[in-house]
């Protein structure tokens, strides 16, 4: 009888292998179909040639790159521990699967634009399934890599829940601190001598605690389930940007290229580990800041084909990061204010 760890390992590896191989095959088959439609003859030589090339490409990168690196990471655990700040598996998926898939997705539209005649005009919108499959596969690999450290059976309490629960118990409100200072004058002197950063108190709304069994069951949180939630929410902005590429005003014009290029650049953040200290800066640099210019240009040139809410999100996230990370360190913005509520 195989152990649970072995079953989990095989299951995860098969899922990642499928997510690595299937998107490229689907996109290449779509390209072969589009190219075949442009041919006036009924001969499918070019179709099967493109399909066979795609199978050969996937087989080559799988046997020569994917499998050796996977075996090396599994056998040489000391080498795996030395890899800090980035994830080799996600890098292989982004470079070897997502990049060629996006490239041939653009090639499909170019083939249709160059060879279609008025009797067979371009469709009103691009098919969503191939691009969604590429992003879904990439997100699933990201979730699997995060889920590896957790067991699939049994209850698992979230570390974040424990940390936040402990922090809420230790934090005192400003009113309690003022009362203590009034009762103990020596505490005023002690606090006054402390550095400014140690006096700051975090005040927030009181979180409820439930004693009913039904409410306790409803309020249960598990980090493993939240990995799936945040795994999709984190990339919703990129998914929306790629969806815009299917609009006829975009893919029938030159705007298709910047949309796909900057969408792919935003996916490069997946290569870095979830708790990398540079991830916030890279999120602004690779996604929000470029998306501001792309979305603003699309709205000016083509109208509101991309949601204004997405533009507001990119602007506010970029401004808040710059303000709270850098501007608050300047003397003009460095005075500390405590809300009375």
Break the chain into its structural domains and give their ranges.
4-118+126-149+230-331
DSSP state for residue 330 in the 8-state scheme: S
Residue 104 sits at the vertex; the CA angle it makes with 141 and 298, to the nearest 5 degrees, is 90
341 residues of the chain, pLDDT tens digit each: 567 788 888 999 999 999 999 999 999 998 888 888 777 667 788 889 999 999 999 999 999 999 999 999 888 888 878 888 899 999 999 999 999 999 998 888 888 777 654 445 556 566 677 888 999 999 999 999 999 888 887 776 544 444 444 444 444 444 455 455 555 555 444 444 444 444 455 666 777 888 888 888 888 888 888 889 898 988 999 999 998 888 888 888 888 899 999 999 999 999 999 889 999 999 999 999 999 999 999 999 988 888 899 999 999 999 999 998 888 888 777 665 555 55
Nearest in space to 15 (alpha carbons), one of 134, 171, 141: 141
User: Rg of the chain over CA atoms, in angstroms?
Assistant: 26
pLDDT of residue 181: 54
Question: What's the whole-model pTM score?
Answer: 0.80
Residue 130 neighbours by CB under 8 Å, 6+ apart: 23, 26, 27, 30, 101, 105
Q: What is the reported pLDDT for 156?
A: 62
Q: Which DSSP helix (H) or strand (E) runs through 79?
A: helix 77-82
**Widest distance between CA atoms in the chain:** 95
The per-residue pLDDT for 298 is 92
116 in Cβ contact with 122 (< 8 Å): yes
User: Residue 161's pLDDT is what?
Assistant: 47
């Amino acid at each position: 009888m195989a152990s649970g760890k072995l079953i989990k390992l095989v299951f995860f590896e098969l899922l990642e292998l499928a997510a690595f191989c299937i998107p490229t095959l689907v996109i290449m088959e779509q390209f072969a179909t589009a190219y075949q439609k442009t041919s006036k003859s009924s001969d499918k030589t070019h179709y099967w040639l493109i399909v066979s090339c795609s199978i050969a490409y996937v087989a080559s990168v799988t046997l020569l790159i994917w499998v050796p690196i996977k075996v090396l990471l599994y056998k040489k655990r000391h080498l795996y521990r030395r890899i800090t700040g980035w994830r080799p598996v996600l890098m292989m998926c982004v470079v070897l699967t997502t990049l060629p898939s996006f490239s041939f997705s653009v090639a499909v539209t170019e083939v249709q634009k160059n060879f279609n005649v008025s009797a067979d005009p371009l469709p009103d919108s691009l098919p969503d399934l191939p691009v969604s499959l590429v992003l879904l596969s990439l997100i699933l690999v990201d979730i699997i890599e995060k889920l590896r450290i957790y067991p699939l059976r049994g209850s698992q309490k979230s570390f974040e829940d424990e940390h936040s629960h402990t922090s809420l118990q230790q934090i005192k409100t400003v009113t309690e601190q003022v009362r203590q200072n009034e009762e103990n004058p020596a505490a005023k002197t002690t606090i006054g001598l402390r550095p400014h950063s140690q006096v700051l108190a975090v005040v927030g709304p009181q979180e409820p605690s439930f004693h009913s069994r039904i409410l306790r069951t409803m309020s249960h949180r598990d980090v493993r389930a939240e990995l799936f939630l945040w795994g999709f929410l984190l990339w919703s902005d990129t998914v929306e940007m790629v969806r815009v590429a299917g609009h006829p005003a975009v893919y029938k014009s030159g705007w298709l290229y910047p949309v796909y290029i900057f969408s792919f650049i935003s996916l490069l953040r997946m290569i870095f580990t979830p708790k990398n200290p540079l991830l916030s800066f890279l999120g602004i640099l690779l996604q929000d800041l470029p998306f501001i210019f792309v979305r603003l240009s699309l709205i000016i040139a083509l109208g509101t084909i991309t949601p204004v809410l997405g533009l507001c999100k990119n602007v506010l996230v970029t401004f808040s990061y710059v303000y709270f990370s850098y501007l608050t360190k300047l003397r003009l913005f460095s005075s500390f204010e405590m809300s009375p509520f």
